[in-house]
Amino acid sequence: MSFDRFSSFSAGRVKSVIVAILFALVLCPVVTSPTDAQERPRRERPPVTRGELVPIKPPPAPPAAAAEQKRETEAEKPQLLPETVQADVSTRNVAVTSSFTGTEIVVFGAVDNSRQDSPQAGLYDVVIVIEGVPGRVSARRKSRVGGIWLNTNSALFDDVPSYYAIASTRPLDEITSDATLIGYEIGFDHVRMTPIGNDGRPLNVADRMPPAELKQFREAVIRLKQKDGLYVAEEYSVAFIGRSLFRATISLPANVPVGPFVTRVYLFRGQQLLSQYNVRLVLEREGFERIMHEFALKRPLAYGIMTVLLAIMAGLAASTVFRKGSH
Amino acid sequence: MSIYLPIAEMSVNIWLILGLGGGVGFLSGMFGVGGGFLMTPLLLFIGIPTAVAVGTEAAQIVASSASGALAQWRRRNIDFKLGFVLLVGGIIGAYIGTDLVKVLRRSGQFDAVVSITYVILLGSVGTLMMIESINTIRKVSAGKPQVHRKSGQHSWIHGLPFKMRFQRSKLYISAIPPLLLGTFVGLLSAIMGVGGGFIMVPAMIYLLRMPTSVVIGTSLFQILFVTASATIFHSVQNQSVDVVLAGLLMLGGAIGAQFGTSVGEKLRGEQLRFLLAAIVLAVCLKIALGLVLTPRELFSLGFAAGGH
């Protein structure tokens, strides 16, 4: 994401933007939605890459390392071609605007060289994982101190996905072995979470809190994220609608942190992972949301002054409007 | 109808926020208080992050005190010299307060500190107001004349150095008490997301012994500038001021205050104070229970500094 637009703002431009925003806000906050549509020169979006087939061997292939190379794993078997999976998402760029209340993403795909006769045959299992931006999370635990509940213990984790959704054709433990789930970070029990110290460096096993306690914190992170609707698991939500075609609907709630997302689609047959395909999608702030958020982050002083001016104007405007007739 | 808040990073119902602004605006118009001490806890109850609630509420108080301060200025009810001394303290307090918010957020104690400060202040102010209003109601119904404090009494305050003459307030006192009072209120303003009028007004009357005529104007003047600087400090230090949320609260508050004022004019002073004390104590109790009762979920996800 680039913030160049804001860092190159001239004073005059800031002033005119402030005036425009003041008006928009003072008049009525509802008016802000239409102003979103106000055309600003189109930003250059990061080019949307096509999804990619991820080579399965050697096993754990982290999404970051997955290069563009398509390795044709043509089997030696003479007759049956190996099955591979391809997939895409219904929306690759989700715009977060003032009216954003969450959205639904349809993930659809197909099994190449499918050997099943009908959608009901159940020969294949598909697991879809959508992962948000990895980031730091601090988990805190309260305990009673002199009659009051205070945060006393805490654990810091890095690389925790901001969002994690799993959709599958069946419960995960019926689809494949634990080893595979661990290797590919599939399922809440295997979401990546690196315990780090206060300096931000990963902790050695020796420096960590006792495993049982760490596990409690880990589970708490998952539980709280689930409560916020940010970690979602839906078994039986991937459905085959043809011999090779499947689809799943995954919902992104309104509180999903923006950023690039990775969708990983896995194809299994008889507990064996046959193929993996990755697709990217991006959640971006757009329009008014983007202007305000970047303004607040990049020019906090100007943003603060603008807010104060807006408040004074709103206060004075209210008193003039309502004082009519009384004085 | 929902709107996505750019800083709070959540979607809220517009009517809920306007309603909150209107309801608190009604009460603040009725009682002549800022309403920050009601609004900040309410914002927390609907799930706005504590830092955003506190920072944004400071911005809303700027709006609600601006019109009041202007009206008082027109009636020449502001002691600018004393107000300026209070303000110097207030800005120092607000600066220290916003820095403290940053430190407390990192250590995970911010929410608890906000709650405890609320319980202590609302509890003591509410209790005092409740006792005073009940006594007054009793005296009024018994038909006894109300006893007013005599001005000109001397106290320990008059022994302090750095005396200044404040013509408008007819005071010749040390600059230290107003400076300290300003700092204290500025600190509270930054941490609690309140204007601090409920501390400032009694302190001006009973501690500084200012004439009542200039108390409201001067405290509004101080509140306006302290919350304005708190808004800016919060924006810079914590990026926690949500302009969309603030705008909605201002709109609701402005409308609510108009109705509140006309209702307030029909009630007697001590009745108003009794009602206000009851509300203050109810908010205090609700926050206190949150601190004392065993929470259903012991864990929480916090603000992690340096995340990407």
Asked if the interface predicted TM-score (ipTM) of this complex is over 0.95, the answer is no
- The tens digit of pLDDT for each residue in A11-54 reads 555 555 555 555 554 444 443 333 343 444 455 555 555 678 88
The count of structural domains within chain A is 2
Say if residue A273 is in the same domain as residue A292.
Answer: no
Residue A279 Cα, gap to closest chain B Cα (Å) = 22
In a domain, B300, yes or no: no
Work out the average pLDDT over B220-241: 90
Residue B154 lies in a domain: no
Is B193 inside a domain boundary? yes
Tens-place pLDDT, residues B99-131: 898 888 888 888 888 899 999 988 988 898 889
pLDDT at B307 over 50: no
* CB atoms B302 and A224 under 8 Å: no
| Residues in chain B within 8 Å Cβ distance of A285 | 6
Residues A119 and A181 in one domain: yes
Domain housing B129:
11-142+159-292
**Would B304 be classed as within a structural domain?**
no
Any domain includes B1? no
Non-local (6+) Cβ contacts of A252 within 8 A are: A94, A102, A103, A104, A105, A163, A283
**Both A296 and A172 in a single domain?**
no
Residues A81 and A101 in one domain: yes
What is the nearest CA distance from B108 to chain A, expressed in angstroms? Answer: 7
Co-location of A149 and A256 in the same domain: yes
For A69, list phi and psi in degrees, rounded to 5: -60, 130
pTM for the whole thing?
0.74
A151/B112 CB distance under 8 A: yes
Instruction: Say yes or no: A237 and A148 in one domain.
Output: yes
Q: How far is CA B211 from CA B79, B156, B202, B204, in A?
A: 10, 19, 12, 9
Q: How would residue B301 be classed by pLDDT, with cut points 50, 70 and 90?
A: confident
Q: Is B148 a domain residue?
A: no
Does residue A255 share a domain with residue A137? yes
Tokens of B10: 């959540």
Structurally, how many domains does chain B consist of?
Answer: 1
Tens of pLDDT, residue by residue over B148-179, are 555 555 566 666 777 777 777 777 777 888 89
Q: How close is the nearest chain A Cα to the Cα of B1, in Å?
A: 9
Radius of gyration of chain B (CA): 20
Residue among B6, B62, B111 minimizing CB distance to A308:
B62
Could you read off the pLDDT tens digit of each residue along chain A, which spans 327 residues?
444 444 444 555 555 555 555 555 444 444 333 334 344 445 555 555 567 888 776 544 444 444 444 444 444 445 678 889 999 998 888 888 888 888 899 999 999 988 888 888 888 999 999 999 998 888 999 888 888 888 888 888 989 999 999 999 999 989 999 999 999 999 998 998 888 887 778 887 777 788 888 899 999 999 999 998 899 999 899 999 988 999 999 998 888 888 899 999 999 998 899 999 999 999 888 888 888 888 998 999 999 999 999 999 988 888 787 765 444
Mean pLDDT along residues B30-52 = 85
Q: Do A292 and B228 touch (CB under 8 A)?
A: no
The encoded tokens of residue A73 equal 């794993």
Report yes or no on B301 lying in a domain: no
**Confidence (pLDDT) at B176:** 85
Task: Please state whether beta strands A103-112 and A194-196 pair in parallel, antiparallel, or not at all (unpaired).
Answer: unpaired
The reply to whether A3 and A83 lie within a common domain is no
- Contact across the interface for A301 and B241, Cβ inside 8 Å: no
Contact between residue A307 and residue B59 where contact means Cβ atoms under 8 Å apart: yes
Tokens 């008016």 map to which residue?
A31
Phi, psi of B23 (to 5 degrees): -65, -50
Range of lowest pLDDT (A166-175, A186-195, B37-46, B202-211):
B202-211
Q: What is the pLDDT of residue B144?
A: 58
**Yes or no, beta carbons of A318 and B250 under 8 Å apart:** yes
Same-domain status, A181 and A298: no
Q: Is B264 left (phi over 0), alpha (psi -120 to 50) or beta?
A: alpha
Q: Is any Cβ of chain A less than 8 angstroms from the Cβ of B236?
A: yes
Min Cα separation B130/chain A (Å) = 26
Domain that holds residue A149: 49-285
Is residue A103 domain-shared with residue A249, that is, in the same domain?
yes
Sheet of A245-252, strand order? A84-89, A103-112, A245-252, A239-240
A226 CA to centre of own chain: 13
A283 touches A261 (CB < 8 A): yes
Which residue among B70, B228, B291 places its CB closest to the CB of A308? Answer: B228
**CA torsion sign, A177 to A179 to A184 to A185?**
positive
Please check whether residue B151 lies inside any domain of the structure. no
**A20/A38 Cα distance (integer angstroms):** 12
Whether B233 and A304 lie within 8 Å, measured CB to CB = yes
**Cβ neighbours for A231, distance < 8 A, ≥ 6 positions apart:** A163, A164, A165, A188, A191, A222, A225
CB-based contact, B105 to chain A, within 8 Å: no
In degrees and rounded to multiples of 5, residue B13 shows phi and psi of -80, 125
Cβ–Cβ gap A296/B6 under 8 Å: yes
- Other Cβ atoms less than 10 A from the Cβ of B19: the count is 13
Q: Are B193 and B41 in contact (CB under 8 A)?
A: no
- Gap from A256 CA to chain B (nearest CA, Å): 8
A8 in the same domain as A115: no
| Candidates B70, B224, B301; nearest CB to A221 | B301
Q: What are phi and psi of A276, to 5 degrees?
A: -130, 145
- Average pLDDT estimate for B46-55: 89
A56 and A178 both lie in a single domain = yes
CB A52 within 8 A of CB A277: yes
Task: Indicate the residue of B232, B294, B297 with minimum beta-carbon distance to A308.
Answer: B232
Pairing of strands A231-234, A164-168: parallel
* CB < 8 Å to B111, chain A: 151
